[in-house]
A = this chain, B = another copy of it.
Amino acid sequence: MNSMTEPKKLSDVAAVDQDSVQPFPNSRKIFVQGTHAGIQVPMREISLADTPTDFGGETNPPVRVYDTSGPYTDPAVAIDVRKGLPDVRGQWIEARADTERLAGNSSAFTNVRLQDDELAALRFDHQRQPRRALPGKNVSQMHYARQGIITPEMEYIAIRENMSLQQARSLGVLEQQHAGHSFGAAIPDEITPEFVRNEVARGRAIIPANINHPELEPMIIGRNFLVKINGNIGNSALGSSIEEEVAKLTWGTRWGADTIMDLSTGKNIHETREWIIRNSHVPIGTVPIYQALEKVGGIAEDLTWDIFRDTLIEQAEQGVDYFTIHAGVLLRYVPLTAKRVTGIVSRGGSIMAKWCLAHHRENFLYTHFEDICEIMKAYDVSFSLGDGLRPGSIADANDEAQFGELETLGELTKVAWQHDVQTMIEGPGHVPMHLIKENMDKQLRECGEAPFYTLGPLTTDIAPGYDHITSGIGAAMIGWYGCAMLCYVTPKEHLGLPNKADVKEGIITYKIAAHAADLAKGHPGAQLRDNALSKARFEFRWEDQFNLGLDPDTARSYHDETLPKESAKVAHFCSMCGPKFCSMKITQEVRDYAAAQGMAAPKEEVVKLLDVEAEMKAKAREFRAQGSEIYRKV
């Protein structure tokens, strides 16, 4: 009755996005158990129809696919975004006995926010008490790895990453895949927990997994693993609500986001982030300088190390898994951007550039880099070293400013590794195709093979409204060359804030890029899904074709526009060509005929057939005598 005067509390009314909790068609959630009961690795299993009798009638085994959708697609889990997700890692973290639960929050800003009654309507009620490393302890996965410890996170990841290989092997189809060309990656035949440990130890992969984010389903980012994608969400000064941001999280991960970055810059960043993390089963990344800038009223030159440090602690205790830190924007690089067509396009980069110029001092993220490392290792937050000077246009690609910063990021990677802090490196941006590989090669060289994490790159500037595509091209290529994670770009890039449809379009485009890269690198088992889908296509198993695709809903709706009847989904012809012109139908006839005539034989025999004119004529007569109808059972 009173709803106009008394604002509803979000913690009372927030509901999950219903689109995000629908089961996938013909799919079920399965779990593969690790060495102890707590390790339960989720996968999606898509069941398939039998091959129609005309085509041989065999049974098609179900196909397991990597599942980023989390508990949201698990019918056994009652989702309540007001309460957050179940705890996956809490026991593992506790069992390591190197952390303590704090009595309160260490961040001054957090405490102010918690005491502000005006925020009650927005606040997430079921906050977790923060956890921190015991004094002198380093709780990073890299630190454990370097001590030879295989954590439950590592085993979980090994099972997850090894799934396609294991599946292909158990089906006896591991060889049904092109060999791949990986440009010097070291993808093993089998992803074992020890391999995961070793890759993390040498810095070639990271496991973003803050001890304050126990809801997380562990995943890994590295060139010898499946290529990952990130989706950006976040509100701005111009709009969008907390509930909408949580919906973008659940919707984006449903379609394949491996991590989510919360790039909020508007009001209530702290509260928004709490809602996001507590409801996220994937790692959450942020750019802490955005919030720090809000705290100083948007005046870059008023930023201080103390404010920034408090922001890092605030976010680390909420559970952010990786921080973008623009520590490579050095004072001496800034003037190199003055002659660019598009100057500095990274928000973080331009903030730090402005600060450097205003104070005529070196970037405080650089001068305090080891202080930052101390914070990172107390919570296991990973570095994502930001490319504040990335090119914002084709014209500016691979210039002195960009590559100067990359060299500095290489130095900083080694500093971070001295602290056993997990580190990945952010990359461009806008790069024409022929200059992409130079980026990858230089990054691998300068940064000791630390994972590369690129935005696109966009391969041309002339298609605003389609930058998911201009960048999907570059993303696929750099993924093939060795990039470990691809940051998505939506159709709204450069133009506006993405809505749910844009988020999905961006995610699917980047899943395509990542998978195309996995195929080209020759990731063991990666081609299994392609093969299964193509077989379904050839056999006119329309539903299987839809369901094996990245987006069954869209595939089905496109099909229905042309041939809406249910019967058409079992029809033995495509909607494009109609019944008479279907090449797949004809191929099956060719196949049956070739088999019946013993022609699916070695090449030599075929050549012989060709040589024997009389035999050919006989066969032709025989074929015609049978009425030229080739649907005979072999």
Contacts and interface: CB of A to CB of B under 8 A. Distances in A.
B469 A549 contact: no
A546 B398 CA distance: 26
Given A495-B555, A508-B463, A550-B463, A537 B357 contact: no
A338 B599 contact: yes
**For the complex formed by this chain, how many copies does it contain in all?**
2
B360 A575 contact: no
A464 B590 contact: no
Contacts of A305: none
Contact of A338 (B350, B469, B591): B591
A357 B609 CA distance: 12
Interface in A392-441: 392-395, 397, 400, 430, 432-435
Contact of A343 (B351, B587, B595): B587
A226 B81 CA distance: 53
Contacts of A477: 433, 473, 477
A512 B607 CA distance: 44
A342 B593 CA distance: 16
Interface stretch (A37-45, A124-132, A376-384, A556-564): A556-564
A358 B617 CA distance: 10
Contacts of A395: 176, 527, 530-531, 534
A300 B587 CA distance: 12
Interface string A329-370: 001101111110111111101110110011111100000000
Interface in A561-593: 561-563, 574-584, 586-591, 593
Given A360-B617, A584-B343, A465 B554 contact: yes
B353 A586 contact: yes
A234 to B, nearest CB: 10
12 contacts: A298-B581, A336-B606, A342-B534, A358-B624, A393-B537, A432-B519, A433-B516, A460-B519, A463-B550, A469-B508, A492-B561, A496-B561
Interface of A: 176, 178, 180-181, 236-239, 265-266, 290, 293, 298-301, 331-332, 334-339, 341-347, 349-351, 353-354, 357-362, 392-395, 397, 400, 430, 432-435, 459-466, 468-470, 472-473, 476-477, 480, 491-492, 494-497, 499, 508-509, 511-513, 515-517, 519-522, 527, 529-531, 533-535, 537-538, 545-546, 548-551, 554-555, 558-559, 561-563, 574-584, 586-591, 593-595, 599-601, 603, 606-607, 609-610, 616-617, 619-620, 623-624, 628
